[in-house]
Chain A
Amino acid sequence: EAQVTQNPRYLITVTGKKLTVTCSQNMNHEYMSWYRQDPGLGLRQIYYSMNVEVTDKGDVPEGYKVSRKEKRNFPLILESPSPNQTSLYFCASKDLETQYFGPGTRLLVL
């Protein structure tokens, strides 16, 4: 089944403890992206990647890192999480026309 997967789905952590949220797609898409979803703000793009080893900042990249070492994976890294990064995170990949979203990762930073 063609899909985008994320892990973990839920995560509670403390300020400053590095974490990684994984994202994987099995559709051989070149474009992948990370969004955060917050009430009243909708979805905002954090980082995106046009292809392997090609990444760029979205609208809200501060406090995040990404890497794209292989086409199928696009992990989101929080080196030193802070409470304002508590949010719902979505990974997406895109073919020629459509973005496909992962199930979301709900993160709580205490």
Chain B
Amino acid sequence: AQRVTQPEKLLSVFKGAPVELKCNYSYSGSPELFWYVQYSRQRLQLLLRHISRESIKGFTADLNKGETSFHLKKPFAQEEDSAMYYCALSKKNTDKLIFGTGTRLQVFP
């Protein structure tokens, strides 16, 4: 069965500290992985996708097929990064997204 696991409900760090939000998935095949972010009182929006291999707002995520992980990282957290982060998986060439339960990132000044 396809599943996305985000083990941490809450991650609190100080400004300037490194951040890693964990995401593990289970899927037999080649998945497409995404990170979505939801700032306070705003809609969910795409942060980045693994196929793009891009860095958005200083965040990066590398797909590790051996460990079935897609952790989100940022070397120096900012207060404006405080938000809810969702990891999501999509079967290749399909439209359905399977979301993890989310991790709330709190960045303190």
Contacts and interface: CB of A to CB of B under 8 A. Distances in A.
A is bound by B: yes
Contacts of A43: 44, 86, 97, 99
B57 interface: no
A92 B44 CA distance: 10
Q: Contact residue range for chain B?
A: 10 to 19
Interface centre among A35, A45, A99 (most CB of B within 10 A): A99
A41 interface: yes
Q: Contact residue range for chain A?
A: 20 to 34
B95 interface: yes
B101 A41 contact: yes
Interface centre among A35, A42, A97, A104 (most CB of B within 10 A): A42
A42 B43 contact: no
Contacts of B17: none
Nearest to B101: A42
A36 to B, nearest CB: 11
A80 to B, nearest CB: 27
A84 interface: no
Dominant secondary structure at the B interface: loop
Given A42-B86, A42-B101, A31 B95 contact: yes
Given A42-B101, A42-B102, A43-B86, A90 B44 contact: yes
B100 interface: yes
Contacts of A40: 9, 101
Contacts of A97: 49
6 contacts: A33-B97, A35-B99, A94-B95, A97-B49, A99-B95, A101-B45
